[in-house]
Amino acid sequence: MQIKVFGPGCPRCKKTEENAVEALKELNLEAELVKVSDLQEIMSHGIMMTPGLAIDEKVMCTGKIPSVEEIKEWISEKAR
């Protein structure tokens, strides 16, 4: 599983990344965590509002910081 966190490097995207790490830890799962800061790449995923989060190339959230709980839900659904 690959989780991508999109953002140019401000506090909000860092928080998103932290939440993703925390969610993985709580679920005791391993996944590849990629931080995407390049604008062109962010846009190529169709993300207009950062922060954004995608799991296995599917954009799950954009425009707000997803909570640890929300990320856990998405990961669990994916893993099913």
Partner 1 sequence: MDWKKEWKALLAIVAVFLASFYLPLERARFDNAIMESLHLVKWYAQEHVLLCLVPAFFIAGAIAVFVSQASVIRYLGAKANKVLAFGVASVSGSILAVCSCTVLPLFAGIYQMGAGLGPATAFLYSGPAINVLAIILTARILGIGLGIARAVGAILFSVVIGLLMHFIFIREDLQQADTQAAMPVPEVTRPLWQNALYFATMVAILVFANWGKPGTNVGTWYAVYSAKWIVTSVVSAFFAIILVLWFDLKGSKVLLVAIPTAILAFLFPHEPMVAFAAGAIGLSIITSTDKGEAGEWFLSTWGFAKQILPLLFIGVLAAGVLLGRPEHEGLIPSTWVSRAVGGNSLHSNLFASVVGAFMYFATLTEVPILQGLIGSGMGKGPALALLLAGPALSLPNMLVIRSVMGTKKTVAFVSLVVVMATFSGMLYGALIE
List of residues contacting partner 1 (CB under 8 A): 6-13, 39-40, 42-50, 52, 59, 61-64
Point out the catalytic residue in the list 3, 13, 53, 71. 13
Paired strand residues for 62: 52
Between residues 35 and 45, which has the closer beta carbon with respect to partner 1? 45
Between residues 24 and 42, which has the closer beta carbon with respect to partner 1? 42
State how far the Cα of 62 lies from the Cα of 77, in Å rounded to an integer: 18
Annotation says 61 is catalytic: no
The catalytic residues are 10, 13
